[in-house]
């Protein structure tokens, strides 16, 4: 195909954002609040939204927690938010003017009695249709290789900002990355990165040296580590100084694709951040990932996409759809899905140990393709009940 005399070339893109991106700060705060509340009461219900703008942090949503001391809650969360922004993410008065004078506002209300009554038991707290995805790529945790790479590059930059190499790069907390590919070939990486002003990356010569340094010391090491062989590709560095919530409003739930599989799979649900485990947008997304992950781990398929759907008050019998590669072992896959289709919401929560998870650490760099032991949706084996069923069927 030719377009205006040129050969048409298709390029596929995916992206991720840094921990200091305004939307990701909001997501981390939402999960931080969730962790605190369920730490007091594991059966609490939480739906928290966060908005950051200038020097204001606006917290709102619904909570059902009988053991919550409101005054202590506000004091502790105020401290935790400031610690997250200044110490863990690393904003200063240079990269976020007035960061030490943030105005944190609390506007929570009780969860409605109607919704609370529907989820007792435990049942789904909402209607939802969500997706799970996996590919046979053990080095990148059965996760899309280039989305994994995007997350890891930004994670590495975040680590550098906190160690002895920080002065060599002049990285600031905000950033975004886009990766362009053609088939399995990496073509171009566009890194939009915030820098402290004395880094002066707008100078052409400094930009060129910094680009080479990032490519050789960060990206190449990750390509080698995760066995992503590549030919020549371009790294385009797009520096900026004025970033963060001082210049860009942050809001929970605006980076759903970054939370999941990038552009490699539909999302289908709502925000994960600040939502307790009765919310299917979060719980069923983690369950769908576990289902898909097991399919490729057991070598029943090389690529699979799973959809789960439920409605508010539903306790079991999830609706399931899937699509796998042409040579997939469909009989095995359907035995697996059929076994899981009768699980209750409680089965999912208990098996994946979701009430034990501290979700704040998953508020940036995605919930999947993670190596943490508490990412149970990526570390659990097949359920004993399914293994027993398979043994019985073979007799």
d(CA 103, CA 389): 57
Distances (CA, A) of 390 to 328, 330, 336: 18, 15, 10
**pLDDT attached to residue 1:** 44
Over residues 24-51, the pLDDT tens digits come to 999 999 999 999 999 999 989 999 999 9
Indicate the pLDDT class of residue 117, thresholds 50, 70 and 90. low
Distances (CA, A) of 338 to 292, 296, 318, 321, 334: 14, 17, 10, 11, 6
Over residues 137-147, the pLDDT tens digits come to 999 999 999 99
Span of 148-157, 160-169, 172-181, 244-253 with lowest mean pLDDT: 160-169
**pLDDT attached to residue 204:** 76
Over residues 311-362, the pLDDT tens digits come to 766 566 678 999 999 999 999 999 999 999 888 888 999 999 999 999 999 9
d(CA 62, CA 107): 9
Cβ neighbours of residue 57 closer than 8 Å, sequence gap 6 or more: 29, 50, 51, 81, 102, 103, 104, 105
Nearest to 141 by CA among 371, 317, 377, 383: 371
Q: Exposure of 124 by Cβ count < 10 A (0-12 exposed, 13-18 middle, 19+ buried)? A: buried
Could you tell me which residue, 246 or 269, shows the higher pLDDT? 246
**Beta strand pairing status for 12-17 and 171-182?**
antiparallel
Span of 56-65, 193-202, 258-267 with lowest mean pLDDT: 193-202
Task: Look at the domain 10-18+145-240 and name its fold.
Answer: GMP Synthetase; Chain A, domain 3 (3.30.300)
Residue with the two structure tokens 């539903």: 314
Can 22-113 and 128-137+253-261+277-389 be said to share one CATH topology? yes
Residue 303 phi/psi, 5° resolution? -145, 135
Beta carbons within 10 angstroms of residue 137's beta carbon: 19
Does the domain formed by 22-113 have CATH 3.30.300.10?
yes
Domain ranges in the chain?
10-18+145-240, 22-113, 128-137+253-261+277-389
Q: With 70 as the cut, is the pLDDT of residue 166 above it?
A: no
Secondary structure (DSSP) of 73-134: HHHHHHHHHHHIIIIII---TTTSTTGGG-EEEEEEEEPPHHHHHHSTTT--SS-EEEEEEE
**Mean pLDDT score, 272-292:** 93
User: What is the helix (H) or strand (E) element at residue 347, kind and residue range?
Assistant: helix 345-351
What CATH number belongs to 128-137+253-261+277-389?
3.30.300.10
Helices (H), 144-297: 145-161, 166-169, 204-214, 220-225, 256-259, 280-297
């Amino acid at each position: 195909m030719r377009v205006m005399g040129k050969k048409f070339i298709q390029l596929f893109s995916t992206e991720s954002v840094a921990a200091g991106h305004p939307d990701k700060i909001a997501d981390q705060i939402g999960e931080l609040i969730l962790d605190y509340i369920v730490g007091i009461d594991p059966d609490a219900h939480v739906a928290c939204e966060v908005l950051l703008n200038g020097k204001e942090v606006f917290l709102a949503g619904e909570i059902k927690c009988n053991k919550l001391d409101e005054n202590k809650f506000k004091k502790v969360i105020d401290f935790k938010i400031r610690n997250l922004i200044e110490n863990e993410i690393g904003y200063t008065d240079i990269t976020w003017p007035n960061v030490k004078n943030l105005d944190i506002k609390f506007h929570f209300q009780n969860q409605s009695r109607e919704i609370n009554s529907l989820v007792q038991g435990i049942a789904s707290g909402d209607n939802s249709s969500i997706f799970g995805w996996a590919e046979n790529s053990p080095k990148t945790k059965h996760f899309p290789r280039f989305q994994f790479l995007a997350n890891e590059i930004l994670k590495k930059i975040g680590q550098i900002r906190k160690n002895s190499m920080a002065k060599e790069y002049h990285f600031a907390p905000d950033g975004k990355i886009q990766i362009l590919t053609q088939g399995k070939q990496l073509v171009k990486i566009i890194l939009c990165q915030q820098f402290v002003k004395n880094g002066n990356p707008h100078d052409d010569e400094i930009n060129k040296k910094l680009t080479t340094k990032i490519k050789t010391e960060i990206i190449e090491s990750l390509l080698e580590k995760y066995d992503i062989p590549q030919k020549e590709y371009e790294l385009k560095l797009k520096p900026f100084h004025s970033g963060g919530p001082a210049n860009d409003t942050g809001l929970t739930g605006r980076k759903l694709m970054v939370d999941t599989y990038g552009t490699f799979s539909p999302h289908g649900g709502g925000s994960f951040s600040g939502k307790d485990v009765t919310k299917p947008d979060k719980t069923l997304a983690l369950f769908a990932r576990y289902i898909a992950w097991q399919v490729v781990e057991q070598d029943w398929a090389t690529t699979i996409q799973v959809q789960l759907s439920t409605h508010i008050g539903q306790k079991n019998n999830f609706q399931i759809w899937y699509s796998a590669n042409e040579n997939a072992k469909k009989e095995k896959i359907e035995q697996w899905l059929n076994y899981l289709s009768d699980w209750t919401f409680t089965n999912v929560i208990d098996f994946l140990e979701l009430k034990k998870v501290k979700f704040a650490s998953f508020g940036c760099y995605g919930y999947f393709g993670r190596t943490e032991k508490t990412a149970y949706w990526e570390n659990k084996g097949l359920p004993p009940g399914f293994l027993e069923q398979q043994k019985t069927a073979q007799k």
